[in-house]
Copies of this chain bind each other. A is one copy, B any other.
Amino acid sequence: MADDHLRDDTLELLGLLAFFELSEMGEVLGEPDPAQPVAGRLAQARRAGRALERSERVLAEIDRLGGSGLDEMARFDGVFDDFDVRTVASTAAESVLRDYVGRTVAEDFCRVVAAGAEPAARDVVIEVAGVGRVDEALVQAVADAAAADPVLSARLALWGRRLVGEALRLVQGLLVERASFARLAAAARAADAPDAEPAVAADPAPEAALAAADPTAVWILRRITERHAERMRRLGLAA
């Protein structure tokens, strides 16, 4: 990968993550209040504040690389709208899943692709996108409720599959539409297993169809699907 691509591609990745964290603020404050009024509002406000801090951390990194944070974010204006419209949660448990196994996919994507980015920026992305954004107590409460109620468990498993399906569609779009991400992903894959052969023909997983046999896309989608499956296991739900 040429060095000029590396900087620009890295800036684009940082722009995606900064925009994602900024959009989290609205997401968090737009959610219904799950707890006692003031306590719940303060907890939400603090989650929103942490999302802003993560966005600022990434914007500072864009500055460091000589980019414009606003320009890099503006490229992604609206990129989550389709996902958001298609995954409106109708219960508190669905809302937790939407966060925990849905929007998190955007962060997983950033982390996986970051392996191909400029090294210092890569570390920032991995740090920022790796923060557990979802309240562990809420996740545990959903896991407990699902464990006690097979009907709820089946319903949430279905919801989880729908969320990851929509999220993978989003990721697929980012890879297809942005040469920067395709380059970063290819570099990330090469760094991960330099001698590996694409395993598409040998193991036609469902995501192979989505990825139109692009081995890098298959590799990314598989990495993301693995993380998704792990989260669903933590919830005690069938992935």
Contact = CB atoms under 8 A, between A and B. Distances in A.
A48 B22 CA distance: 12
Interface in A17-46: 19, 22, 25-26, 29, 37-39, 41-42, 45-46
Which of A41, A42, A46, A77 neighbours the largest number of chain B CB atoms within 10 Å of its CB?
A: A42
Interface bracket on A: 20 to 34
A26 to B, nearest CB: 6
A104 interface: no
Main secondary structure, interface of A, reads: helix
Given A25-B29, A26-B29, A29-B25, A48 B52 contact: yes
Nearest to A41: B22
Contacts of A19: 38
A11 interface: no
A45 B55 contact: yes
Chain copies in the assembly? 2
A20 B59 CA distance: 29
A41 B42 CA distance: 21
21 contacts: A19-B38, A22-B41, A25-B29, A25-B48, A26-B29, A26-B41, A29-B29, A29-B48, A37-B74, A37-B77, A38-B70, A38-B74, A38-B77, A39-B70, A39-B74, A42-B55, A42-B70, A42-B73, A45-B55, A46-B52, A49-B49
A46 B69 CA distance: 14
Contact of A45 (B38, B45, B52): B52
A221 to B, nearest CB: 28
